[in-house]
Structure 1
Amino acid sequence: MVKSKYLIIIFLLIWSTGLQSSEITIGKRRTIVSEVLGEKREYWVSLPASFQEDGYKKYPVLYFFDADLNSFFHVFTGMVRQMSSDATPIIPEMIVVGIVSQERVRDSSPTKSLIEYGGQRNEALNVSGGAEQFLKFLNRELVAEINQEYPTSGYQILAGYSFTGLPVIQSLYSSPEMFNAYIAIDPSMWWDEQVMLKRYTEFLRGKPLDKRRLFVATSERVTGVYPKENYVAEFIELLNSRPKAGLYVDSVIYGGEENHHTMPVISFYRALRSLFDGYMLDDQARFRSAIDIINPVAL
């Protein structure tokens, strides 16, 4: 009888271990108590396949907003993993940090405004105007925690889509030393009478940047409601016609085949390709010797 009990226990342990090993984990939920915001904030972390505790490798870090929106965390972490692990990787392995949008309107808006998309007044927007405070939390607390907990290389990327594209632009304007590269996918440049578009002139008057990169995406599709103008396209035109010293800009304006809701995934892919342009060796490089790759003239 006792032997049977032991056999049952062993069977249950093996069975439970089998269940655990069958799980596919793409990241971990973490929380941080923010003194800047006076609240707990949730963020999700995905580590590279080569990550090991006490390992020697250090990684760039990609921070993006809206981790909990439209399965972005699943899509973006999977994309980073695939693009960095193929036979000829396109980008380096990265630590990916998705920030959960607990107070999206407050944290994303650079100014207070009660005019919503469509041009109507909405009293619920009274909480707006907290982007600068949110960026303080990001810069002083979250980035510091990630750098303390994980082996980071010092190269940092900030990405946002739609309304969360606004703090990406604001971060570039106000604290460009914090991130090396910025991704703004169809940012809401219409906000508060195009306030971030108007602030570009002030940004130009500032000191030159130190090798920063910006990728911006939008579409030619414009709705029949306010705003009827594509202010992201105007922003791209400004970036190109009045370039900021030290800022490398790449952009895409899709035609009618894409709209605001279909462009995030393809834009994220194009942005990573752009930011790490030149990272990938040609496909035949893996069949050549290291000497040939170092001295291509000899070929």
Structure 2
Amino acid sequence: MIQKNRLGNSALEVSQIGLGCMSLGTNEHNARDIVKRALELGVNYFDTADLYDLGENEKIVGNALRGQRDNVILATKAGNRWIPGQDGWEWDPSKKHIHSAIKDSLHRLKTDYIDLYQLHGGTIEDPTDETIDAFEELKKEGLIREYGISSIRPNVIKRFIENSSIISVMMQFSMLDNRPEEWLELFQTHNVGIIARGPLAKGLLSDEWNEKLKTKYAGKGYMDYSDKDLSEILPKLKDIIGDRSLEAAAFHYCLSQPSVAAVIPGASSIEQLEANVRAIQKYEFSIGEMKQLQGLLKQTVYKEHRQ
């Protein structure tokens, strides 16, 4: 079975690998099979958002988890408001919208509570006190168990950590995007957990890395790495981990940080899901390997949204 970790200072215990449900698509039969298999494999953390497929993703996840509600940690997000007749979504972190959005999500997910409700973004200009009040009220009403934010903006993250009772921050984190490492002390001091999205760096940190370099990333870079950097560093990463999968190394690089409770790669097929679960179960870093990896990787930092 998959190890579980406590999320921040809460009572929520999430599987080390969750399922990022955005990748499930709109084929409900296929999505239901993936969710069912995830449950069989020991995944208990499922993450969706009202933004995904205009709410259809929440409906699909709710149907797929029918009869399993007490066995899972169900997370969704709010803050983006769809206005009929307009193109796209409008950012709205107001109390009024959050109180309205939770009702719609509960209906689509076919549940009467959300385990982890997350603000899906955030700017420094937001009425943060109002947003925090909204989440605290939902918690008192029993509509949510805990709340967190999904953001990569340091100024937003710091404001919420210091002024609210959030238990988690979802942020992009991988060996090729290790920006969160700069802020690990803040997370540890306040006992806030990290949910790492994008741990495979869009497939570059997988055993298909060579093919990715020749096709999707031909002539292109990723984050602070040029295509030349990638062509040099990825083979070296593979040399360090030997015959173990690069996916396993990628997942456990994130999980080796005490604040990281879970990684949430997506899976659009059962085969991909099973490969991810195998990877999470078959790896341990030695101290020497970690030092080798850290010596090889660039230390990236957030250049914006710092004040």
Bigger relative contact order, structure 1 or 2, given CA contacts below 8 A and separation 6+? 2
Q: Compare the two structures and name the one with the higher helix fraction.
A: 2
TM-score of the pair, normalised by structure 2: 0.34
TM-score of the pair, normalised by structure 1: 0.35
Higher Rg: 1
